[in-house]
Chains A and B, each alone.
Chain A
Amino acid sequence: MLLRCTADERGTRHLVSDAHSDWYELARKCDWDLSYVDERDVFPAEVSGEPWLPGASWRGWDEPYRTSFHDYLTAQQAKESGIEALRSVLATHDERARIDRGWNAAVKLHSATLPLAEFAAVIGNLRAARFGRDSAWRSTSLLGALDELRHTQIPLKIAHQLVASDPQFDWAHRLLHTDDWVAIAARHMVDELLVAADAVEFAIATHFVFETGFTNLQFVGLTALARRVGDPLIEHMLHSIQTDEARHAQIGGAVLEQIVAADPERAQRLVDKWFWRSWQLFGIVTGFAMDYLAPLAARQRSFREFVQEWIVEQFDRSLRAYGLRRPWYWDEFVAALGNYHHMVYAAAYTHRASVWFDLAMPGPDERSWLAAKYPDTWAAYDAIWSCVDDRWSSAGPGVEWYTHGATPIGFCELCQFVLAGGSPEANSARVVVDDGGRTRMFCSAPCQWIYEQERERYAEHEGVVARILAGKAPPNLLALLRYFGLDARVWGRDVHGGLHPWRTGAGSTR
C-alpha cells in the first residue's frame, strides 16, 4: 500500500493511501443537509449524547489517522493471516503445558474478562456509527465495530481450541453468562460503558479514557511480559489487537475536544467517572498479571511503575492538553497504586474457588521483589502472606480449604468488586443510608460519588449480598459457588496445590 502525506487546511498532517486519495476526503466527509426532518429527530440527544449541538458545530470533527475501507480490509487480512498461522500451531495443550502455570492463569483471566466485553464494544461502536454527529466519526466507528468483532473472535477461537484439555478455558465464553461475582461486576461496568452509553459518553469513556488512557497497560506492558515469559501466541495476539485500538481510540480525543468547548464540566465529570471505573478494572486484570501471575524472572517493572509511566504521566499530559483537571480523587488514586491490586489479589487468593482460574501464592523471592517495588505499603501484605504460608505449612499440600475463606464477602454497590479500598490499616469502605432507608456500602469515595451522580441508573441493581439477603442466592459457600456456575472441575486453586517450590526444596520461587 502506498501512503502519501497530506496536510489539511489547519496544517494537520495525514497519511492517506495514494490509490484512493482523490476521492477519500469527499467520501469521509459526506453529511447531508437535512431538509424535511429535524436534526434532533435524526440524532436524538438520548442516543447521540449531550450536550446536543447543531450539526454545523461538528463539521470540524477530524481524526488524525485515516484509512479507507479497502485499505482497512487489506491490512486486517494480513494481520488475520499472521495470527491464524500462530493459532494453528501454538494453541495446543502441549504448548500451554510448557508455559508457566501462573502465566496461564493470567491468560485465562484475560481470556474471560475481555472477549465478550469487546463484543459489547461492537454495539457501542455501531451506535456511534449511526448516531455520531459527524460522518467521519461515524465511518471511523464502523471500522471500530469491525475491530472489536475481531477482538472478540481471536481470543475465543484460541480458548476454544484449548477447552478439551483444560475446562477453565471454557470460561472465556462462559463468564459473562454466569452470576459469578466477577461476572456481575464486569457486566455492571461493560453494560453501562459499552451497551447503554450514548455516542458522546461512549467516545469519551471508551476511546479516550479506557483505550487511550489504559490499554497501553495491556498492549505494551503485557505484550512485553508475554515475550519474556515465552508465550508468542499471546504476545502476537495482543500486538495485533493493539494496532486496531490505536486507530479507533483516536475518536475519543476528537469528540472530547467538542464537548470541552461546549460543556467543560460535563466533559470533566465523564472523565472523572470513567477514569476511576477503568482504573479498578485494570488494577485487577493487569495488576494481578504483572505483580503476581507472571513468573518473577519475566518481570522487569512493577504494576505501579508501569501505571506511573504509561497512565499517570501520559494521561495527565492529555488532560492538560484538553484543558481538563486531574480527577478530584487524584490523591486517592495515587495511593491506590500501592494498595488496591494487592488487596484484591489477597482477597481473591483466599476465595479462589469463587473464580475460574488458579492463583499463585508469592514465594519468598517474589515477596522480596514486591517489598523492593512497594517499600511504602508491602509490609501489610507481607504479614498476610506469612499467615497464608503458615497455614499451608500446617495443612500440608492439597488442603486448599485451610487457606480459603468461608464467610460471605461484601461488595461495593457501584463497582461490584470486593470492599478492598484504602489499605489494610484503613479500609475506605463507607456506608450510606439512602432516601428509601436502604443501607448501601461503597468501597471508596469515588464509587459513592459516581453512584450519587446518577443514582437512578444504579439504584435497582442487585449485587451478590442483596441477592443473598433476598433469598435469590444461597448464603452457604459451596452452594454459592454452584450459583456462580463453578464446580470442582473448574474452580480456582493454588497453582501448585500447596506443593510450593520453596516448601519442597525445589527453589524459592515458582
Chain B
Amino acid sequence: MKEATLDDAAIPLHVFVRGDVLGLVLVVASSAQISDLAAGARTAAACRVPPTGRSSVWYAGVRLDPQLTIAQAGLRPLTRVDVVPEVDP
C-alpha cells in the first residue's frame, strides 16, 4: 500500500462545468491527474449536463495538461477551475 504523503492531500476545488448553472465543490487528491478531475466534474454535473465527450480543464486562463497532477498544476484549495466539454470535429 502506498504510504500517504503530502501529495495525497485532499484538495477542495470550486469546479464550473461549462453549460452548467452553478459551481460545485469537488474534493480531489493532490496526486490525482487533471483528467481525473475532468471526469469527476462531468459525473458530478451529469444530471444537468450530459457527461459525454472529452473535456479540457482551465485554470486562470490556461488550459491544463490532462496528465499533470493537481499538485503539479499548482491548484490551491478552493480556487476556481473550469471544465469545458469539447465538441468533437
Interface residues of A (CB under 8 A from B): 342-344, 346-347, 350, 380-381, 383-384, 387-388, 390-391, 402-410, 418-420, 424-425, 427, 429-431, 439, 441, 465, 468-469, 475
Contacts of B25 in A (CB 8 A): 407-410, 465, 468
Q: Is the interface of B mostly helix, strand, loop or mixed?
A: loop
> Within the complex, what minimum Cβ distance (angstroms) separates A443 from chain B?
8
Q: Which of B14, B21, B27 contacts A424 (CB 8 A)?
A: B21
Q: How far is the CA of A403 from the CA of B47 in the complex (A)?
A: 5
Closest to A439 in B: B78
Contacts of B14 in A (CB 8 A): 410, 419, 429, 431, 441
Q: Find A427's partner among B16, B44, B49, B78 (CB 8 Å cutoff).
A: B16
What 1/0 mask marks residues of chain B from 48 to 74 whose CB sits below 8 Å from any chain A CB?
111000000000000000000000000
B18→A384 contact, CB < 8 A: no
Interface centre among A346, A402, A419, A420 (most CB of B within 10 A): A419
Q: Is the CB of A424 within 8 A of B19?
A: yes
Closest chain B residue to A426, Cβ basis: B18
Report the separation of the CA atoms of residues A369 and B70 in the bound assembly, to the nearest whole angstrom: 44
Residues of A within 8 A of B47 (CB): 350, 387-388, 391, 402-405
What residues on A are CB-neighbors of B16 within 8 Å? 419, 427, 429
- Which B residues lie within 8 Å of A383 (CB)? 19, 49
Distance from A346 Cβ to chain B, minimum over Cβ atoms (Å): 5
Residues of A within 8 A of B7 (CB): none
B78 touching A429, Cβ below 8 Å: no
Chain B residues whose CB sits within 8 angstroms of the CB of A405 once the complex forms:
24, 44-45, 47-48
Residue of A nearest to B79 (CB): A431
User: In the complex, what residue of chain A is closest to B60 when comparing beta carbons?
Assistant: A431
Q: In the complex, how many angstroms separate the beta carbon of A475 from the nearest chain B beta carbon?
A: 7
Taking a contact as CB atoms under 8 Å apart, the answer to whether B22 and A420 are in contact is: yes
Task: Report if A384-B49 is in contact (Cβ < 8 Å); known contacts: A409-B25, A419-B23, A441-B23.
Answer: yes
**Which residue, of B19, B23, B26, has the highest number of chain A Cβ atoms within 10 A?**
B23
Complex contact A418–B48 (CB within 8 A): no
Total interface residues on B, CB under 8 Å, equals: 24
How many whole Å from B85's CB to the nearest CB in chain A? 11
Taking CB atoms, residues of chain A closer than 8 Å to B50 are 387, 390
CB distance from B51 to the nearest CB of A (A): 10
A390 to B80, CA, bound (A): 29
Residues of A within 8 A of B44 (CB): 405-407
Q: Is B8 an interface residue (CB 8 A)?
A: no
Contact across chains for A350 and B26 when beta carbons are under 8 A apart: no
CA A305 – CA B50 in complex, angstroms?
31
The docked-state distance in angstroms from the alpha carbon of A408 to that of B79 is: 15
Which residues on the A side are within 8 Å of B21 (C-beta)? 342-344, 346-347, 381, 384, 420, 424
Top 6 closest pairs, chain A to chain B, by CB: A419-B23, A407-B44, A410-B23, A343-B21, A439-B78, A347-B22
8 inter-chain pairs at a CB distance below 8 angstroms, sorted by A residue, are A344-B21, A387-B50, A405-B47, A409-B22, A420-B21, A425-B18, A431-B78, A439-B77
Task: Looking at the assembled complex, report how far the CB atom of B12 sits from the nearest CB atom of chain A, in whole angstroms.
Answer: 6
> Do A469 and B22 form a contact, CB below 8 Å, given A384-B49, A405-B47?
no
In angstroms, how far is the closest chain B Cβ from the Cβ of A177?
26
B86 at the interface (CB under 8 A from A): no
- Nearest-Cβ distance from residue A212 to partner chain B, whole angstroms: 31
B18 to chain A, nearest CB (A): 6
Q: Are B48 and A409 in contact (CB under 8 A)?
A: no
Contact A407 B48 (CB under 8 A): no
- Using CB atoms, name the residue of chain B closest to A350: B47
Whether A439 and B76, one on each chain, are in contact in the complex, defined by CB atoms closer than 8 angstroms, is yes
A440 (CB) vs chain B CBs: closest residue = B78
Which of B18, B24, B27, B49 contacts A387 (CB under 8 A)?
A: B49
- Inter-chain CA distance A473–B26, complex, in Å, is 16
Q: Are A429 and B80 in contact (CB under 8 A)?
A: yes
A14 to B20, CA, bound (A): 53
| Distance between Cα atoms of A387 and B52 in the complex (Å) | 12
Contacts of A410 in B (CB 8 A): 14, 22-25
Kindly report which residue of chain A lies nearest to residue B82, judged by CB atoms: A427
Partner of B23, one of A388, A429, A439: A429
- How far does the alpha carbon of A403 sit from the alpha carbon of B76 in the complex, in Å? 31
B23 & A380 in contact (Cβ 8 Å cutoff): no
Instruction: Give every chain B residue within 8 A of A404 (Cβ-Cβ).
Output: 47
Set B19, B24, B49, B78: member contacting A407, Cβ < 8 A: B24
Task: Return A470 CB to nearest CB of chain B, in Å.
Answer: 12
Provide the bound-state CA to CA distance between A23 and B19, in Å: 65
User: Which residue on chain A has the smallest CB distance to residue B76?
Assistant: A439
Structural contact, B22 and A441, CB atoms closer than 8 A: no
State the Cβ distance, A31 to closest chain B Cβ, in Å. 52
In the complex, what's the smallest C-beta–C-beta distance from A445 to chain B, in angstroms? 14
B43: nearest residue on chain A (CB-CB)? A407
The minimal Cβ–Cβ distance linking B20 to chain A, given in whole angstroms, is 6
Interface flags for B18-43 (1: CB within 8 Å of A; 0: not) read 11111111110000000000000000
User: Does the CB pair A475–B76 fall under 8 Å?
Assistant: no
Q: A403-B47, A420-B22, A439-B77 are in contact. List 20 more A-B contacts (CB 8 A).
A: A342-B21, A346-B21, A346-B48, A347-B21, A381-B21, A387-B48, A387-B49, A388-B48, A407-B26, A410-B14, A418-B23, A419-B16, A420-B23, A425-B18, A429-B16, A431-B79, A439-B76, A441-B23, A441-B78, A468-B25
| Minimal beta-carbon separation of A13 from chain B (angstroms) | 50
CB proximity of B38 to chain A, nearest CB, Å: 14
